[in-house]
Amino acid sequence: MRCPYCHHDNSRVLDTTHDSQGGIRRRRECLDCGQRFSTYERPILATPLLIKQDGAREEFDREKLARGVRIACAKRPVSAADIERLIGSVEASLQKMGKSEVSSRVVGDLVINGLKEMDQIAYIRYAIVYLRLDDLHALRGEIDRLLES
């Protein structure tokens, strides 16, 4: 692994941990400059194509999903690690389905369920767009359902 500080090609692994999505975090030390750094390895598994509402097909884009979730969580007490965990969970769920194509609604449902547990305000922000809550009555109905549960 190339050192991000001195760009030397050799490093030593000090510690390895595994996460729930199958990723591996390695703590490394450069053999040349002695600096320590972390790397994160994630297996590349095929994700299905998403079938949009208009019938178009599109590759799953982790960054596009992350942007949407970050917007919903803006100025909320949600850590970047929590957002990354949610995105990883959605991606892992899609990969476990083993299908070549799934509806984009599946992704939206996974995200909205994760946000509901993580932060209710972020959930409402995401729901306004995802569930197309176009007027105050629809928004109030969703808030009422959230308060009842």
- pLDDT tens for 1-11 read 899 999 999 99
**How many Å apart are CA 145 and CA 2, to the nearest integer?**
51
Q: Is 142 exposed, middle or buried (0-12, 13-18, 19+ CB in 10 A)?
A: middle
Per-residue DSSP letter, 134: -
Q: Is the pTM of this model over 0.95?
A: no
- pLDDT tens for 87-119 read 999 998 998 888 889 999 999 999 999 999 999
Edge-to-edge strand order for the sheet containing 101-103?
57-58, 49-51, 101-103
